A = this chain, B = another copy of it.
């Protein structure tokens, strides 16, 4: 199966602790790397992950709180120092371009590559990136400032040819693409060979949803229905549910409810408040609602 992995670079929340870095993840889809959020220290964690800098061309920023974007300048500078030439694409709220541009002009003069901004309207669910094999869509969230999550979805892949059958029926090469795409084959004598004798179905497309930061927000359920992996913030435990609401965050139990009601395959919780020395309380709460839950931690890799 083609690679589809999520690497946690940081899963703490606004206050840094000695246990967690600020928010940042890398999604590796077939050796193309996509960064989601870029808190302080992300470049350090990226280096620790041994992921190749040069394979990272797109960064998606969920919202403009410092713990989700203060690592950008360091990362961008370092890419310059190591001789990057490929354009780096940053998908973000318009304000970030405005804030970052003067810094880029000051600190990154003469860099051999460009930073290109692609502005996101976080109030709409829409495709913000697309290539041959994947689409990335924004997921409107509800936080103190404009915020969106991201849904990474593989595109359906063609059927797999059964080589022996192709040879047996002497199917010419120019017919193969049509057959991969599900069509039957008609022999010169008019006999129809049904597609399912010539191919096996592809692996179903996989998907990953990143939802952070947000208040408990049921409208996302429809968009993330059935994803293979859902990362959902679980800043607080249920005993701090009032605080979660006031600060537009989610409790671990609420994250479990979202996962259950969206019928996702696996839930990964993170963005932990600094107040919980032992995050197993968060894990247990989420699992009480949605058993297949994992606790994020730095340097964790989850394979879809």
Contact = CB atoms under 8 A, between A and B. Distances in A.
Contacts of A77: 14, 66-67, 70
For the residues of A in contact with B, the DSSP-based class is helix
A133 interface: no
Contact of A78 (B15, B18, B21, B44): B15
A73 interface: yes
Q: Assign chain A's interface to a size class.
A: 20 to 34
Given A41-B44, A47-B18, A48-B18, A74 B66 contact: yes
A68 to B, nearest CB: 11
A43 B43 contact: no
A15 B40 CA distance: 15
A172 interface: no
A16 B40 contact: no
Interface in A95-140: 95, 99, 102-103, 106-107
Contacts of A66: 73-74, 77, 107
A81 B15 contact: yes
A239 interface: no
A295 interface: no
Contact of A44 (B40, B73, B103, B107): B40
13 contacts: A15-B78, A15-B81, A15-B82, A16-B74, A18-B48, A40-B40, A64-B107, A66-B74, A66-B77, A70-B73, A70-B77, A102-B102, A103-B103
Given A40-B41, A40-B43, A41-B41, 16 more contacts: A14-B78, A14-B81, A15-B78, A15-B81, A15-B82, A16-B44, A16-B47, A16-B74, A17-B47, A18-B47, A40-B40, A40-B74, A65-B107, A95-B106, A102-B102, A103-B103
Interface of A: 14-18, 21-22, 40-41, 43-44, 47-48, 64-67, 70-71, 73-74, 77-78, 81-82, 95, 99, 102-103, 106-107
The 3 closest A-B pairs by CB, nearest first: A40-B74, A66-B77, A70-B74
